[in-house]
Amino acid sequence: MNETRRTVLKRTGATGALVAAFAAGLLRWQDLLAAGWNKDAFGSKTLADALKGIGAGSAADSTDIVIEAPQIAENGGVVPIEVTSKLPGTRSIAVLIEKNPFPLVAKFDFLEGAMPFVKLNVKMGESSNVRVVAEAGGKFFTTVKEVKVTIGGCGG
Amino acid sequence: MRAVVCSAALWLALAPPVAAQSTEAEVEKYRKMIAEDNPGELWEIKGEKLFMQKRGSKNVSLEQCDFGMGPGVLKGAYARLPRYFADADRVMDMEARLLHCMKTLQGFDHKAALKTKFGNLNRESDLEALATYIAAQSNQMPIDVRLEHAKEKEAYKIGETIFYRRMSKMDFACASCHADQGKRIRLQDLYNATNKTEIDRVMSGWPAYRVSNSTVRTMQHRLFDCGWQMRLPNVEYGSDWTVALHTFLSVSANGAKIGVPGMRR
Amino acid sequence: MADPMKMRATLKGDTAEVRVLMSHPMETGQRKGPDGKVVPVHFIQNVEVKLNGKTVIEGQTSQAVSRNPVFSFRLKGAKAGDKIEVSWLDNKGDKNRTEIAIA
């Protein structure tokens, strides 16, 4: 798998300062990859902006992305989400909680040797759609699953 | 970060039995998925470190603490607790014994030892980490609390009495919530202590990582928390009251295979 | 960082299922501390998974990942003895890593 450095930089959303530092020879390639964090996308307050921030503004619905999550979460602070992408050539998986104050929660890039699969625990402020976006073959695909959040009875 | 979803609860209350069953199934799925990866295991690691560390005014580790099977023997010790200890002339559960060793072996004073008994988002608890480590040394072994000494038998009887006794302002007994099948508070199902399967499942999983508290919670915390919810006067850590109840509950779960840290919402 | 991290990797054929537990407060910046002041944001931003020294997964995460994060990944073409390393970097520049060899 061969990618130009520029496209990988674009994909990981490295900030301008880091790119400049890298270009000036002050950072190693490895440092750049490790330090990239898509501030714009993670700071987006609407779903539309977050999707745009990861380049997925016009993602197509797909049944080849499987979200495994409980319909009811006893505690919104810890909601288990498991994602498997069956799309051939899946390069990344992003997890968004539509009704969270900042919808984008995580984005994983899969290089050679990794399967397009991830399980993580997320915080949900309220019942919401969990939206997953997968990038495969240069295109974006998406699917949703609703998770209801409720509090338990013992108040603790 | 927590929102009350009244509409969901109301819908579930009005929904036909079929929907209620699938609600249970989905909650079961939630519990199964969070249990697959348990942050409580990190408390076990922290606890081992603390256990071996020289601490207190006497600057010694807990390695010579006798948890009932001889000084320094941890394997299987938690499974046999609570039990009678001659040097203190009382029945103690694991945490009461841990506190005893911290005071007598390590030289902690009572208040200092309990300073961080229950962790919160702002500070961690030594006792919770230590309890997780000690309990984990009995993993895969059956709960085996024996009533041999007169005080052990007495503790059981007192614990049983407490369990069924209606107390304090709200006139609740433990049994008010935990002695019938299928009870719940809002969406939180309440286990039935008189059902062997359920008491086994519950007692074999303490200490447990409590997701809503982001820390491992122990039996002492559980009793303290229930006491708070029942509006009982202050439940003292490691007190005879807690040990008696703990004895009654553990004996009820004898034979259950220990698997800690457990996981709770 | 002194806080513990724990990883487990089980081999199923040539797929390694990796489960990693991390200690981190993952503060959202919306909570008040004991002094009444807001606890500032403090969360893991980057997670990296390496198989035998080669990066295979690059993750970017937000403060909406749960406190004491746990992650599961799957690596292909893995065999017994292979080294898996997971590292993280947070918004304050703190980092931690753990490494195991697949049994």
Q: Which residue has the higher pLDDT, C103 or A90?
A: A90
User: Which residues, including other chains, have CB under 8 Å from residue B195's CB and lie 6 or more apart?
Assistant: B181
- Closest CB to C57: pick one of A36, A82, A109: A109
> Is A28 in a helix, a strand, or coil?
coil
Task: List residues bridging with A145 in a β-sheet.
Answer: A130
- CB atoms inside a 10 Å sphere around CB A57: 11
> Is A16 in a helix, a strand, or coil?
helix
CB contact under 8 Å between B42 and C33, yes or no, is: no
CB contact under 8 Å between A156 and B213, yes or no, is: yes
State the average pLDDT for chain B.
92
How close A60 comes to chain C (CA, Å)?
23
Going by C-alpha positions, the residue among B243, B263, B148, B159 that lies closest to residue B202 is B263
CATH fit for domain B37-264, picks 3.30.930.10, 1.10.760.10, 1.10.10.10, 3.40.50.720: 1.10.760.10
Domains within chain A, CATH numbers bracketed: 1-37 (no CATH), 45-149 (2.60.40.2470)
pLDDT of residue B15: 42
CB contact under 8 Å between B8 and A75, yes or no, is: no
pLDDT of residue B22: 84
Average pLDDT of the segment spanning B221-231: 94
How close C61 comes to chain A (CA, Å)?
4
CA dist., res. B204 & res. A155, Å (int): 23
User: Which residues, including other chains, have CB under 8 Å from residue A116's CB and lie 6 or more apart?
Assistant: A84, A85, A87, A90, A91, A93, A110, A134
Residues of B with a known catalytic role: 226
CA dist., res. C54 & res. C59, Å (int): 15
pLDDT > 90 in chain B, percent? 86
pLDDT of residue A152: 52
Peptide bond before B207: cis, by omega within 30 degrees of 0? yes
Query: Is pLDDT of B24 > 90?
Result: no
Residue pLDDT, tens place only, B72-119: 999 999 999 999 999 999 999 999 999 999 999 999 999 999 999 999
**Cα separations in angstroms, B59 against B35, B56, B63:** 37, 5, 12
How close B98 comes to chain A (CA, Å)?
26
Query: Is pLDDT of C15 > 70?
Result: yes
CA dist., res. A104 & res. A132, Å (int): 10
Residue pLDDT, tens place only, B174-218: 999 999 999 988 778 899 999 999 999 999 999 999 999 999 999
Q: How many domains does chain C have?
A: 1
Q: What is the CATH number of the domain that holds C54?
A: 2.60.40.10
Query: Is pLDDT of B2 > 90?
Result: no
pLDDT of residue B6: 42
DSSP A67: E
Q: Does B63 contact chain A (CB < 8 Å)?
A: no
pLDDT > 70 in chain B, percent? 92
Query: Is pLDDT of B11 > 70?
Result: no
DSSP C65: B
ipTM over 0.85: yes
How close B250 comes to chain A (CA, Å)?
22
User: Which residues, including other chains, have CB under 8 Å from residue A5's CB and lie 6 or more apart?
Assistant: A29
Chain B contacts of A153, Cβ < 8 Å?
184-188, 190
Q: Which residue has the higher pLDDT, A3 or B51?
A: B51
B255 close to B82: Cβ distance less than 8 angstroms: no
> Is C35 in a helix, a strand, or coil?
coil
Amino acid at residue number C26: M
- Copy the structure tokens of residue B142: 């059956």
Q: Which residue of C has its CA nearest to B48?
A: C4
- Copy the structure tokens of residue B193: 């202590």
User: Which residues, including other chains, have CB under 8 Å from residue B247's CB and lie 6 or more apart?
Assistant: B82, B91, B93, B145, B147, B152, B155, B156, B159
Chain C contacts of A104, Cβ < 8 Å?
62
CA dist., res. B49 & res. B61, Å (int): 10
Q: Does C98 contact chain B (CB < 8 Å)?
A: no
Domain range annotation of chain B: 1-36, 37-264
Average pLDDT of the segment spanning B210-232: 94
Peptide bond before B82: cis, by omega within 30 degrees of 0? yes
Query: Is pLDDT of C73 > 60?
Result: yes
Chain B contacts of C19, Cβ < 8 Å?
36-37
User: Which residues, including other chains, have CB under 8 Å from residue C32's CB and lie 6 or more apart?
Assistant: C38, C39
3-state helix/strand/coil string of chain B: CCCCCHHHHHHHHHCCHHHHHHHHHHHHHHHHHHHCCCCHHHHHHHHHHHHHCCECCCCECCCCCECCCCECCCCCCHHHCCEEECCCCEEECHHHHHHHHHHHCCCCCHHHHCCCCCCCCCCCCHHHHHHHHHHHCCCCCECCCCCCCHHHHHHHHHHHHHHHCCECCCCECHHHHHCCCCCEECCEECCCCCCHHHHHHHHCCCCEEECCCCEEECHHHHHHHHHHHCCCCCCCCCCHHHHHHHHHHHHHCCCCECCCCEEEC
Q: Which residue of C has its CA nearest to A110?
A: C57
B58 close to B109: Cβ distance less than 8 angstroms: no
Going by C-alpha positions, the residue among A135, A50, A156, C18 that lies closest to residue B230 is A156
pLDDT of residue A73: 94
Can you give the residue range of the structural domain that contains C17? 5-101
pLDDT of residue B189: 87
Going by C-alpha positions, the residue among B53, B35, B82 that lies closest to residue B205 is B35
3-state helix/strand/coil string of B59-116: CECCCCCECCCCECCCCCCHHHCCEEECCCCEEECHHHHHHHHHHHCCCCCHHHHCCC
- CB atoms inside a 10 Å sphere around CB B24: 13
Which residues does chain A have with pLDDT short of 50?
1-12, 14-15, 22, 26-34, 153-156
Average pLDDT of the segment spanning C84-92: 97
- Copy the structure tokens of residue B23: 């609600």
